[in-house]
Amino acid sequence: MQKMTMAKALNAGLRRALEADPKVILAGEDIGKLGGVFRITEGLQAQFGESRVVDSPLAESGIVGTAIGLAMRGYRPVVEIQFDGFVFPAFSQIVSQLARFHTRTGGRVPMPVVVRIPFGGGIGAIEHHSESPEAYFAHTPGLKVVAPSNPNDAYWMIQQAIQSDDPVIFFEPKRRYQSKGDVDLDARPVPLHAAQITRVGKHATLLAYGPTVPTCLDAADIAAEEGTELEVVDLRTLSPIDWVTVRNSVARTRRAIVVHEAPLSLGMGAELAARLHEELFYVMEAPVLRVTGYDIPYPPARVEEHYLPGIDRVLDAVDRSLAH
């Protein structure tokens, strides 16, 4: 067991994947000598060479397109999109080519490509540097979409994503890069597409992923001081969602609040709410509530704290749910 930041855990996971399989190749803007904007790949080019940790041109569509070609030739490319808002020049490659190729070839050509995307806000960045585009990709059949919330998951999930024969969109919560936690380097990891109950409770379930999981855990700590026991479920995977864990938790607590940074309308919370209402309508004591970002373009850095769902907004939703 080692204590490390999420950034260091991702670096260690990528290093272990590079060591384990010579077909693993990393590519992206400034990921080599610089080690990436967030230093996730720091030191890897020096260890594994420029042919395996590649500084690519500033061309996201070209980066993903090249990764598709490499996968067709038997490699396992891992590409970094420098910031979430920069993924859109590669959107066509991802949803029109990467997501469909395995099916298009009748299963004969797998697409073991990982697209790493730092996402979410909270770092005081400029426009296009703080987005939450996960719903676009979770809506696309053929893609697996995952988002770790802590260093241990980051370490194991990046390796599991690289081992997958399906393309994986790997969302990394950038404001949690420097959060520290214990990483068990030798444990048997949780399956990639399994949700985890990170705190057990009985009065309501908080459903979250990526950057909002720590927010929900902090809210649960405060609620416990007033006698309210909140269960926190870390979804970990947005496509496919682990409905068994989600459904069992909400059936037990009979209340659910979904928390994510992305805008409210047509976000991941909408799918979770719809499915839970369909399957647990006669069990739940209150409607599913959503605590999210607002339906506006991401605001300037000085006011992003008012945009992001915080502890107060989560606890307000809990109070409204318990009032039913």
pLDDT band at 230 (very low <50, low <70, confident <90, very high): very high
DSSP 3-state assignment of 291? strand
Catalytic residue among 102, 129, 193, 260: 129
**pLDDT tops 90 at residue 248:** yes
Within this chain, do residues 156 and 245 fall inside the same structural domain, yes or no?
no
Residue 205 in contact with residue 253, Cβ under 8 Å?
yes
Domain annotation covers residue 190: no
Any residues with CB less than 8 A from the CB of 294 and at least 6 apart, and which? 263, 264, 307
| Boundary (domain end) residue, out of 129, 162, 183 | 183
Please, what's the largest Cα pairwise distance for the chain? Answer: 60
193-207 average pLDDT score? 98
pLDDT in tens, 36-69: 999 999 999 999 999 999 999 999 999 999 999 9
**pLDDT tops 90 at residue 162:** yes
Residue 288 in contact with residue 257, Cβ under 8 Å?
yes
Domain annotation covers residue 189: no
Report the CATH number at residue 211: 3.40.50.920
Within this chain, do residues 43 and 163 fall inside the same structural domain, yes or no?
yes
Domain annotation covers residue 188: no
pLDDT band at 188 (very low <50, low <70, confident <90, very high): confident
Domain annotation covers residue 73: yes
Within this chain, do residues 109 and 238 fall inside the same structural domain, yes or no?
no
Within this chain, do residues 28 and 151 fall inside the same structural domain, yes or no?
yes
pTM above 0.85, yes or no: yes
- Total domains in the chain come to 2
Any residues with CB less than 8 A from the CB of 235 and at least 6 apart, and which? 147, 195, 207, 208, 209, 241, 242, 246
Any residues with CB less than 8 A from the CB of 286 and at least 6 apart, and which? 254, 255, 321, 322, 324
Phi and psi at residue 300, to the nearest 5°: -60, 155
Report the CATH number at residue 148: 3.40.50.970
| Domain of residue 276, residue span | 196-322
* 260 assigned to active site: no
As to burial, measured by CB atoms within 10 angstroms (0-12 exposed, 13-18 middle, 19+ buried), residue 126 is: exposed
**pLDDT tops 90 at residue 123:** yes
**pLDDT tops 90 at residue 187:** no
pLDDT value at position 174? 97
Within this chain, do residues 91 and 170 fall inside the same structural domain, yes or no?
yes
**pLDDT tops 90 at residue 324:** no
